[in-house]
Amino acid sequence: PCCRPCLCRRLWPSECDLCRSEGDSAMDVAAGDEITRSDSALRANIKEKGANSYYYAHAKPPEIPAHAKVVSGPGLITGGPPELISRDESIDKPAGKPRITVTKFSWLDDGDKVKIYVEEPNFLVAAEGDLRVTFDTNEFCVEAEGADRIFVLQVEALSHSIVPEDCKHAIKKGKRLTVTLKKKVGSTKWYDLKKKS
| Eight-class DSSP state of 94 | P
Residue range 55-111, pLDDT digits in tens: 777 777 677 788 888 777 777 777 677 777 777 765 544 568 899 999 999 999 999
Nearest-5° Cα angle at 157, 128 to 172: 20
* Whether the model pTM is above 0.95: no
CA torsion 113→119→122→128, rounded to 10°? 50
Residue range 35-45, pLDDT digits in tens: 455 678 888 88
